[in-house]
Amino acid sequence: MFRKKGQIWVETVVYTLIGLTVIAIILSMALPQIEKSKDKALIEQTVTALNILDKKISEVEQAPGNSRVVELGISKGRLDIDADNNLIKYTLEDTKLELSEIGENITQGNIVLRTEKMPARFRIILTMNYPNLDITNKNGDGGIKTLQAGTTPYKIVMQNKETSSPGQNTNIEFSII
């Protein structure tokens, strides 16, 4: 009688361990795929947001004094407004998602997508280049303005500052409110 009760407990423990092992194996295979899917969705949302930003920049460029406000949420990664090189760049670091061939540029409209290899993972860079504009940050400052991931969306104000002479690139000033 006691032998049978002991056997039931041993079987229960063995079956529980087998069940937990199977669950751990399934999770170890599924979690990286889930992470890749989340990062891919994030990149797709970011491309959409950058296309909206690009459209607003085109609208601001049309007339001196013109301005637009864009709300931009960054849940992962960072956005750089590079006034020195007249470009806007979004970078997603430390992802398992290999979105394109390493080191190759893929162009979608005004957005250039590039995947770079890091030691263990990948870096995805989305760049919008504006060679015909003179991008400045608040008060005409050069340099790079970096927007980090956060829970609150950023409000980006873009304003067309009049150029002093014809033939000069249009000055678009970015400020964050």
Residue position matching structure tokens 């190759």: 104
pLDDT average, residue stretch 137-160: 85
For residue 146, which amino acid is it?
T
**Looking at residue 154, what is its pLDDT?**
92
Burial class (CB in 10 A: 0-12, 13-18, 19+), 120: exposed
What are 105-119's pLDDT values in tens digits?
A: 999 889 999 999 988
Q: How many domains are contained in the chain?
A: 1
Angstrom CA distances, 48 to 54, 72, 108, stand at: 10, 11, 11
pLDDT for the residue 81: 92
Gap between the Cα atoms of 152 and 176, Å rounded: 13
pLDDT at 78 over 70: yes
Percentage of the chain lying above the pLDDT 90 cut: 52
Q: What is the pTM of this model?
A: 0.81
Residues 123, 90 contacting (CB under 8 angstroms): no
Burial letters 6-28, b for 16+ CB under 10 A, else e? eeeeeeeeeeeeeeeeeeeeeee
Domain that residue 128 falls in: 2-176
- Alpha carbon distances (Å) from 93 to 27, 43, 73, 78: 23, 12, 17, 9
pLDDT surpassing 60 at residue 164: no
Q: Is the pLDDT of residue 138 over 90?
A: no
